[in-house]
Homo-oligomer: A and B are copies of this chain.
């Protein structure tokens, strides 16, 4: 690859000066890396259409100034340590303390709403009970590798090219349809299934397709922070609906939600309380939604992991042609960085959803979709889910047992016996934020509850946290419980 230079033969500045500045600034800016070999003077002169002497003079002057060094019989190299220390080239890590740009963008209202620094990565030592990923250590990487190999070497070059199916790989959509009909009782055809990059994209695109600025979206309170952020950054007004032991209080929605265009909820395993929406409320919600012409976004993010009791069927499948968008993800079933999920849409929304997906990122990666279709079709998914269900069930017990050992009656575990996390309520004299800070200092990162709208007044002597146990090892969980106890007791 040739280096590119900004030389202008029609400029009034001599070519020698231009090349000199270019090289010097390029070295200081890190464009030419420390230790990098520069092109030979003859080669560079030829490619730039300038004399070799000009190049040699530049190289010599920069060498005398400490930017370059010439090694006999090897060539000219950028010095490893540079004269202007204040301009050292970018280090291999991502520098955070960089000079701010003079350029101030005129952001849109959306741009202004999202313009905030993101959370910094946790330090490596911390036990991250705030991360909702599954266990990835037990993932069958050898099997996945085999499937990848087979697909990559199959000679099917269409898997590498642009897709013609923006809603996703047909085999994968069919496999997901069969899985959802069977295990989640959905009523749908593969034409209604659209492949997205995880349920985050499903939530984002749904909001984009439904909500104008000022529109109302109802969601559970406490609820899922990132969904709320998607809605509010798009200018929607959030109507928080309280949750009790039977899930979202649909009566409250009916009372206050007349203007809601969208209801976002997690009926199978409410996030974060872990309860499931009762059958009565489900039917009430569906009837109300149909009557009031409101769409429901059913986020079924971890319903695969239910350790006792009868699994509840999806809201989408309870009535025919339900006013429901149903989303699920392979982030919890397989691994999160795969970025494949699905949304099942009413037939009247197929075109709009597929177009919105296409305009936002053209398509999801084809190759991974084909590998995933093979994984499902060759009957690896269901045994893997069963296996992980056993592991997570055990970890849940292990963690709760350890908490009870330390806290006794001073801890209460909420929600159903299901999912990748538990919500725990602790008796303590600390405030919620003190408790969070102390457990963090002890080396455990717990998740705070998120209340869209106004949080209820704190209950004296009690604090609550979400504890995501599924991705933590059997060894980490008792340790985490002990560290939480020593922080709160």
Partner-B contacts on A (CB < 8 A): 1-6, 8, 26, 29-33, 47-49, 90, 92-96, 98-111, 114-118, 121-122, 131-133, 136-137, 139, 141-142, 144-145, 148-149, 152-153, 157, 159-166, 170, 173-174, 177-179, 181-187, 189-191, 196-198, 200-201, 204, 208-212, 215, 226, 229-230, 233, 261, 279, 290, 293, 295, 310-313, 317-318, 321-323, 331, 335-339, 346-349, 351-352, 354-356, 358-368, 382, 385-386, 471
Contacts and interface: CB of A to CB of B under 8 A. Distances in A.
A104 B361 contact: no
24 contacts: A32-B181, A32-B182, A90-B177, A90-B189, A94-B189, A95-B189, A95-B190, A104-B348, A105-B346, A105-B349, A106-B293, A111-B208, A111-B210, A111-B352, A114-B356, A116-B351, A141-B153, A160-B337, A196-B361, A197-B361, A200-B361, A201-B360, A230-B359, A337-B366
Contact of A361 (B166, B339, B368): B339
Contacts of A152: 141, 144-145, 148
A285 B96 CA distance: 30
Nearest to A359: B230
B187 A31 contact: yes
Given A105-B295, A160-B335, 20 more contacts: A4-B183, A4-B185, A31-B186, A94-B191, A99-B347, A103-B323, A103-B346, A105-B210, A110-B209, A110-B356, A111-B352, A114-B209, A136-B157, A139-B160, A142-B153, A162-B337, A163-B337, A198-B361, A198-B362, A339-B361
Contact of A153 (B145, B204, B359, B362): B145
Nearest to A97: B191
B31 A362 contact: no
A354 B293 contact: no
Minimum-distance CB pairs A-B, first 9 = A337-B366, A121-B164, A111-B209, A31-B181, A136-B160, A160-B335, A115-B352, A114-B355, A101-B348
Contacts of A107: 209-210, 352
A1 B145 contact: no
Given A321-B103, A337-B160, A351 B118 contact: yes
Contacts of A295: 105-106
A212 B109 contact: yes
Nearest to A192: B98
Contacts of A312: 4
A361 B317 CA distance: 26
B149 A145 contact: yes
Contact of A47 (B133, B310, B339): B310
A339 B364 contact: yes
Nearest to A138: B157
Contacts of A359: 114, 200, 204, 226, 229-230, 233
A116 B349 CA distance: 10
A139 to B, nearest CB: 6
Contacts of A471: 161
Contacts of A31: 181-182, 185-187
A180 to B, nearest CB: 9
Contact of A5 (B6, B98, B185, B197): B185
Contact of A181 (B29, B177, B201, B368): B29
B2 A311 contact: yes
A323 B208 CA distance: 28
Given A141-B152, A163-B337, A94 B190 contact: yes
A471 to B, nearest CB: 7
B361 A161 contact: no
Contacts of A102: 321
B108 A335 contact: no
Nearest to A110: B208
B162 A336 contact: yes
Contacts of A196: 361
A115 B317 CA distance: 25
Nearest to A312: B4
Contacts of A165: 121
A204 B162 contact: no
B212 A355 contact: no
A211 B111 CA distance: 8
